[in-house]
Chains A and B, each alone.
Chain A
Amino acid sequence: MAEKSPARPPRVRPENDPFRAYEEQFVASPDPWAEIVKLDHGSDRTFGSTVRAMVMNAEPAQRPAMEKKLIQALAAPGLTAVGQLFVCRMLALIGTAECVPAVTPLLNDKATADAARFALDGIENPAVDAAYRDALGKLSGDAKAGLIGSIALRGDRTALAAIQAIQADAKEPAAVRTAAARAVERLTAKS
């Protein structure tokens, strides 16, 4: 049996070697899935672009694992508002019912409801409709008007009574009542 050759000792570049910094940077290259949570307005979005390319080019069999990474990113410490929006927009491409529990808390907060809808609008699953109907009573103002629009576009007629009540509620702002009126027209139109 041939004797194994001894392991080669790691190469140590001298301090003044111009490739040393490059090599260290390469070895320390961060995980793009971890970096996306730090995105901010005007910051380097290279890692975001990497994740976006991976999501877009994923084979169907690879998407569940990517969706899981995105769900984990939503709970990552230090998640910025821009990072959160980015993750939601990636879920808009590959999200399924799996991500609904993680996104729903965002849906119920006026500050993050739009981002949540970006993630959920394209998911054809009753869990999304249920989450939307539930959020109707928790949102107000523009976020509520946007939610009503999403419900109408999804054609969820089980929300009709709730939306009609909003339409008739004089305390609601004009934008919300207008959104409700148009949603009622859409949901009651003969197809």
Chain B
Amino acid sequence: MNPLLSRRAFLRNTSLVSAAAAFPSFLPSRVLGQTAPSKKITVGFIGTGNIAQGHLDTLLGFDDVRILAVCDVDKVHRDLAAAKVNAAYGNRDCTAYNDFRELTARADIDAVMVCTPDNWHALNAIEAMRNGKDVYVEKPLTLTIEEGRAMVSAARKYGRVAQTGTQQRSSRRFHDTAEFIRNGGMGKLSRIEILIPANNKYVGANWKPEPVPAGLDWDLWVGPAPFQPYTRQGCHYNFRFILDYAAGQVTNWGAHYIDIAQWALGMDESGPVEVVGDGEFPTTGLFSTATKVDFTCRYASGVALRCRTRYDGVSDGNVRFFGERGWVDVSRSASTASDPALLKEITAQSGKGAVKLPSSLNHHDNFLQAIRTRARPISDVEFGHRTTTVCNLGNIAMQLKRPLKWDPAAERFVDDAIANRMRTRSMRGPWSLV
């Protein structure tokens, strides 16, 4: 028998797991004391740059987690990450890989954190799931709509836990607001307004290819996207402003706040039926994602969701729900409302309505508990896919500048051949969604 499977079978039968089934929220298991090595969830990281650093720090704090390997096509990043892990554990056991396929092939790794640029998410996660790993995938879940569906299919086919990194679902503030809306607390909902930050990086109109820095596997960095020579401004972090790799702030921030709207609307396995957009895109230069985001979706219920760029310099988004009782607004920093009494009501009504949304106070812990219980995590891959789809619908509509009809069941545009072709992108060989 596969030792991993036998260990999981053991874990499924522990009293800890029985408790997990009874109570949806947990204290991190590290507070329970030393975890035997055989019970630890072993983790590998694919992508160790910017966003991965926070995940590394967090998971190193879990007693029931052991990070065995890290992978990055940038040697500087992967060596730093491996050193951080080894320093935390007081050994030299963490293996550093250049190619993610070597990491996913390891039989002793249970779960993989996918923290690569967006155009890599689907390939990294699907390969990991094919090799029996559970996955935590940074947001936005995927670059294209078709990749998202492929990732959901892989999770179901291989029976894997797949958590999307939309961690606002593991925040009491967002949870309570969404649950309040779901239970009709605002009366009939009419519209939702979402603001997302403007681009925070700019380059001039011109750029030129530069020598690839030592230790950076540029071909593997580009991966499935059309090949483009290295330029420093188009690599780490800034990739998100180049359409070949990402969709800009539409998915970078939109993935967080549209996710809360989808949750509040009960649209976790569906989506809007129409979208229209009028964004602005750079017509030359390195960056190509929207500099001005403005699109509106309409759901079958009649609710309109508008997402647009804010220009007040605030590095956060917010989502405002308008209903018969006024409006409530929630962001990472604050909740506000047309009537302050609504905010007290939201807190007081938490957990008391007919609809009880899943609850989590720690996104990583929720993922780890799902690995042990085999339950769906709070930001299940299907939900992440549906949220990212709304972002991508907006991005496509802003480029096409015409109203589009969307069939959320078939996941196809109605009567628009070009829009339908934009649901997917061909990949450079050898990469494929197959």
Contact = CB atoms under 8 A, between A and B. Distances in A.
Nearest to B209: A41
Contacts of A143: 429
Interface in B223-249: 226-229, 231
Given A42-B207, A114-B226, A149 B434 contact: yes
Contacts of B207: 42
Contacts of B428: 114, 142, 146
Contacts of B212: none
A149 B431 contact: yes
B228 A41 contact: yes
Interface stretch (A1-9, A67-75, A179-187): A179-187
Interface in B406-434: 417-418, 421-422, 424, 426-434
A93 B429 contact: no
A38 B95 CA distance: 45
B335 interface: no
B226 A85 contact: yes
Interface SS of B by simple majority:
loop
Nearest to A123: B421
Interface residues of B, number: 33
A175 interface: yes
Given A42-B206, A57-B400, A179 B421 contact: no
Contacts of A178: 430
A149 B422 contact: no
Given A57-B401, A89-B226, A147-B429, A183 B283 contact: no
Nearest to A95: B421
Interface in A134-191: 141-150, 152-153, 175-176, 178-179, 182-183, 186
Given A41-B208, A46-B284, A122 B402 contact: no
A118 interface: yes
Interface centre among A143, A153, A175 (most CB of B within 10 A): A153
Given A41-B209, A42-B206, A42-B207, A152 B432 contact: yes
Given A56-B399, A93-B418, A45 B429 contact: no
Contacts of B208: 41-42
B354 interface: no
B399 A146 contact: no
Contacts of A144: 429
B32 interface: no
A113 interface: yes
A145 B426 contact: no
A129 interface: no
A17 interface: no
A42 to B, nearest CB: 4
Contacts of A89: 226
Given A146-B429, A153-B433, 15 more contacts: A41-B229, A42-B207, A44-B206, A45-B285, A56-B401, A93-B421, A114-B429, A115-B226, A146-B427, A149-B427, A149-B429, A152-B434, A176-B430, A182-B432, A182-B434
Interface of A: 41-42, 44-46, 49-50, 56-57, 60, 85, 89, 92-94, 113-115, 117-118, 121-122, 141-150, 152-153, 175-176, 178-179, 182-183, 186
30 contacts: A41-B228, A44-B205, A44-B284, A45-B284, A45-B285, A46-B283, A49-B281, A56-B399, A60-B417, A92-B426, A93-B421, A93-B422, A113-B429, A114-B226, A114-B428, A117-B429, A145-B429, A145-B432, A146-B427, A146-B430, A146-B432, A147-B429, A148-B432, A149-B430, A149-B433, A149-B434, A150-B432, A152-B434, A179-B434, A182-B434
